[in-house]
Chain A
Amino acid sequence: MPVWTLYGLKQGKVSQRWPAVGGDDGQSGVLGFPRFDPAQCQSGCRDCADACLPQAITLKEGGGVNVDYGRCVQCQLCVTACPSGAFTLSSDWAFGVRAREDLVWAQAANSAAGQMLKREIRKVFGRSLHVRHVDAGSCNGCESELQALNNPYYNLHRLGVFFTPSPRFADLLLVTGPVTYAMKGPLLAAYEGMPEPRFVMAAGTCACSGGTNGGGYACGRGLDGLLPVDVWLPGCPPNPAAFIHALLMLLQRLPQRVRGGHLMEDGDGR
């Protein structure tokens, strides 16, 4: 066994300082949500909406399109379909928001900053948050990235966030998947088992809206109307840095970056 200790020491420290200054978030080259610029739209064109399987892009009555990032699975087909460059590739992935409306594209990003969480959250949970994860029918992409949070690169423990087996010890219920008929009961039981104050994160596009997989004979459409959601985090799946951003945003240790479907450079300052 000492040989493993020696081997481990020889590997050196690989954990990143991110989100502290100078840290690497590890997402070089990873695509985020397509950016939308309606000024480039051609009138009467519906190519993007026709190319969008989860109906994140829908036609507006009277022309133009609605874009809901809470439904987007980042397949990037709209970018290819658009003849005029209204949708462009981006690396915008820090899409955790407190209010679901902030995922819907708006001309001016002037919606009020997301609703304040209970004021004490930073004081009570700021240094230690315990998370109970429930898979309500995911494709396992979200689980793969959640498991990555505890690898030495992201090393979630350094930020004081821990996964816990029992809902009785959990502060946050982190839900993935569109909620299948069979997982609805166990999911609600896990929520009921949590002490208050308790928080809920809809993680991944499935949990936000059902994405491509929701609906049908066996699935719901995510957590909307099922549980009181404190943070919505779309992404298919959200990458580990996006998960970390959303967790720290819940704790008011990082600002919300997205408002009205726009990624802000400096966030909302909280």
Chain B
Amino acid sequence: MNAPLLQDLAPSQLPERARALLESGGRLQMAYAWFPDGAIELRYLAAARPKVFEIWRVRPENGTAPSLAAVAPLLSWYEREIADLCGVRFEGHPEPDPLVLLPGARASAPPLTPGADLRIDYTPQFARLPEIAGPDRADVQVLPFGPVRGDVLESAQFLFLYIGEAILHYLPKLFFKHRGMEKRFEGLNAPFAPVLAERVSGVDSVAHALACCQALEAAAGCAVPPRAHWLRVLLAELERLYNHLHYLGHLCHTTTLKVGEAQGKYLEELAKQINGRLAGSRFLRGLVIPGGLHREPRLDGLRESLARLQEQFAPYAEMLETSTTHLDRLITTGVLPRRTAFDQGATGPIERASGLDRDLRRDHPYAAYDELKFPVALRTAGDAHARQQVRLAEIESSLALIRAVLDELPEGPVHAECTPPPGSEGLGWAESPRGSLYYAVHVGSDGRIARMKIKSPSFSNWRAFPFTVHDTNMMDYAIDEASFGLTVAGCDR
């Protein structure tokens, strides 16, 4: 992992700098604020060129900074989040509504202010809806769906503005599950951080623990033993495997392919049972810690179990790619154009299905990925079918990566001492099954965590998703949503 380049910018330099970054083909990755010595400071993370991140450090003037949402639309949500949680005002923001705090929620102080001990006073209010013009405006109906939805689903509310079968506009209201997870890291010692990180989004436990620990290791400047690096790849790919198998089963559920659903979820169960034997946890929790791994995973029998899984997966994948009833519902459904995917910050399999060739494992390698060869799946259609194809290809490459790790796994210890010194900071990242995940840590003068920023892939993809729903129809909605494979817990934190 290369250390990011830290640069100081004046607030007035920001728009020009962002434009220059975009013109050179770079992209902003996230923005957050924290409070060094009581004063507020903004951080922007930019991927300017392969293998190197830039961090722009900006001190707001009188608590305000220029909004970059019009230059780089994906920053819109980050700025709204910073306004909600840290109290910075962004001048010229096109949509300056609260985001993380729901309409009707009032906090006595911005929740991330140091030392703020506060509760949220909440009287639910209806969300502000876009103005509707045109001759049919009287026919437009509003359907608020959620936050408690059918079946076993995460809580979120979706507002549909529709006429009959046609959706005119779609507005997801998230953050019902906002738990203030970033604040909970404050004051903790490094060994507790992965315990909490694994509980931000359960189905991405490994990716969260990995990004979190890599941030702490960057702050500590410690060297993780090679064997731990290789085993981290193994864990991360096992996580991708069960998540993508679940994804296929759930996608079949929405296209009413019943046997396909059953088989996808059965294969997911087999993958989780493999995890359980290997790690003692079906979610692979408890292994990744700062400095390496907590203990050796049980690798005996893994190769054989995965071979059996692959034998069942191959005909299943072929069936999915040749079933016309299934494909008819996927092809041209929920199209995310390449440009929209880039501007709105789509990540992971979603952006790769829209023709954006980006993958942190290859572009900013971590763990042992720079020593492994693997293809990055890419499709250009941007529809639900392309997203299925990217996932199918990633399952194949995950299985190949796990085999490669088992073949070439170096001997040696799996843990090294890792204690971040007071006043240090670090950035960690991982390509989770859903896309890019970042953790930024700042260690206080007492050696405890002073700030932990979490940028989850679902935060990015929920921002892009509505662009595939406007002007479509109700019949396709469930398929489109399933094809994105979003989590709510990761987004809401």
Interface residues of A (CB under 8 A from B): 1, 3-5, 7-8, 11, 14, 26-31, 51, 53, 73-77, 80, 89, 133-148, 150-154, 163, 165, 177-178, 180-183, 185-187, 189-190, 211-213, 216-219, 236-237, 239
With A30-B280, A31-B280, A77-B195 known as contacts, the answer to whether A4 contacts B319 (CB < 8 A) is yes
Task: Across the interface, name the chain B residue whose C-beta is closest to A140.
Answer: B489
Contact of A183 among B147, B265, B315 (CB under 8 A): B147
Contact of B199 among A7, A150, A213 (CB under 8 A): A213
Which B residues are CB-close (under 8 A) to A4? 257-260, 319, 323
Shortest Cβ distance from residue B327 to the other chain A in the assembled complex, whole angstroms: 13
Docked pose: A145 CA to B183 CA in angstroms:
27
With A186-B155, A218-B179 known as contacts, the answer to whether A7 contacts B205 (CB < 8 A) is no
Find out whether the CB atom of B195 lies under 8 angstroms from the CB atom of A213: no
Task: Across the interface, name the chain A residue whose C-beta is closest to B107.
Answer: A217
Find out whether the CB atom of B201 lies under 8 angstroms from the CB atom of A139: yes
Find out whether the CB atom of A141 lies under 8 angstroms from the CB atom of B192: no
Find out whether the CB atom of A180 lies under 8 angstroms from the CB atom of B177: yes
Contact of A182 among B178, B200, B285 (CB under 8 A): B178
Which A residues are CB-close (under 8 A) to B183? 216-217
Find out whether the CB atom of A73 lies under 8 angstroms from the CB atom of B195: yes
Docked pose: A133 CA to B153 CA in angstroms:
8
B residues 315-348 touching A (CB-CB < 8 Å): 315, 319, 323, 325
Find out whether the CB atom of A30 lies under 8 angstroms from the CB atom of B282: yes
Which A residues are CB-close (under 8 A) to B102? 182
Task: Across the interface, name the chain B residue whose C-beta is closest to A204.
Answer: B202
Can you list 22 pairs linking A and B with CB atoms under 8 Å apart? A4-B319, A11-B263, A26-B269, A30-B277, A51-B191, A53-B196, A73-B195, A75-B285, A76-B280, A139-B489, A140-B203, A142-B202, A186-B147, A187-B148, A213-B181, A213-B184, A213-B199, A216-B184, A217-B118, A217-B120, A217-B183, A218-B120
Docked pose: A35 CA to B153 CA in angstroms:
33
Given contacts A217-B111, A218-B180, A237-B202, 11 further A-B contacts (CB under 8 A): A4-B319, A7-B315, A29-B277, A30-B276, A75-B286, A140-B488, A140-B490, A141-B283, A183-B177, A217-B118, A236-B199
Which B residues are CB-close (under 8 A) to A237? 202, 283
Find out whether the CB atom of A28 lies under 8 angstroms from the CB atom of B147: no
Total contacting residues, chain B, CB less than 8 A: 72
Shortest Cβ distance from residue A162 to the other chain B in the assembled complex, whole angstroms: 11
B residues 145-181 touching A (CB-CB < 8 Å): 147-155, 175-181
Find out whether the CB atom of B196 lies under 8 angstroms from the CB atom of A148: no
Find out whether the CB atom of A148 lies under 8 angstroms from the CB atom of B177: no
Find out whether the CB atom of B179 lies under 8 angstroms from the CB atom of A219: yes
B residues 67-99 touching A (CB-CB < 8 Å): none
Which B residues are CB-close (under 8 A) to A29? 276-278, 280, 298
For B94-128 the 0/1 string (1 means CB < 8 A from A) is: 00000000100101000100001011101010000
Find out whether the CB atom of B105 lies under 8 angstroms from the CB atom of A139: no
Task: Across the interface, name the chain A residue whose C-beta is closest to B323.
Answer: A4
Interface residues of B (CB under 8 A from A): 102, 105, 107, 111, 116, 118-120, 122, 124, 147-155, 175-181, 183-184, 188, 191-192, 195-196, 199-203, 205, 246, 249, 257-260, 262-263, 265-266, 268-269, 272-273, 276-278, 280-283, 285-286, 294, 298, 315, 319, 323, 325, 487-490
Find out whether the CB atom of B273 lies under 8 angstroms from the CB atom of A28: yes
Find out whether the CB atom of B265 lies under 8 angstroms from the CB atom of A151: yes
Docked pose: A166 CA to B428 CA in angstroms:
42
Contact of B152 among A3, A8, A146, A219 (CB under 8 A): A146
Which A residues are CB-close (under 8 A) to B201? 139-140
Which B residues are CB-close (under 8 A) to A180? 176-179
Which B residues are CB-close (under 8 A) to A139? 199-202, 489
Docked pose: A137 CA to B281 CA in angstroms:
21
Task: Across the interface, name the chain A residue whose C-beta is closest to B151.
Answer: A163
Residue in A53, A139, A146, A212 with the greatest tally of chain B CB atoms within 10 Å = A139
Docked pose: A89 CA to B295 CA in angstroms:
13
Docked pose: A139 CA to B277 CA in angstroms:
22
Docked pose: A51 CA to B278 CA in angstroms:
24
Find out whether the CB atom of A150 lies under 8 angstroms from the CB atom of B265: yes
With A7-B319, A11-B263 known as contacts, the answer to whether A218 contacts B200 (CB < 8 A) is no
Docked pose: A31 CA to B468 CA in angstroms:
42
Which B residues are CB-close (under 8 A) to A138? 154, 177, 202, 489
Docked pose: A27 CA to B275 CA in angstroms:
10
With A140-B489, A211-B199, A218-B111 known as contacts, the answer to whether A239 contacts B180 (CB < 8 A) is no
Shortest Cβ distance from residue B113 to the other chain A in the assembled complex, whole angstroms: 11
Which A residues are CB-close (under 8 A) to B490? 140
Which A residues are CB-close (under 8 A) to B315? 7
Which A residues are CB-close (under 8 A) to B281? 30-31, 74
Find out whether the CB atom of A53 lies under 8 angstroms from the CB atom of B192: yes
Residue in A138, A187, A189 with the greatest tally of chain B CB atoms within 10 Å = A138
With A30-B276, A213-B199 known as contacts, the answer to whether A137 contacts B269 (CB < 8 A) is no
Docked pose: A177 CA to B179 CA in angstroms:
10
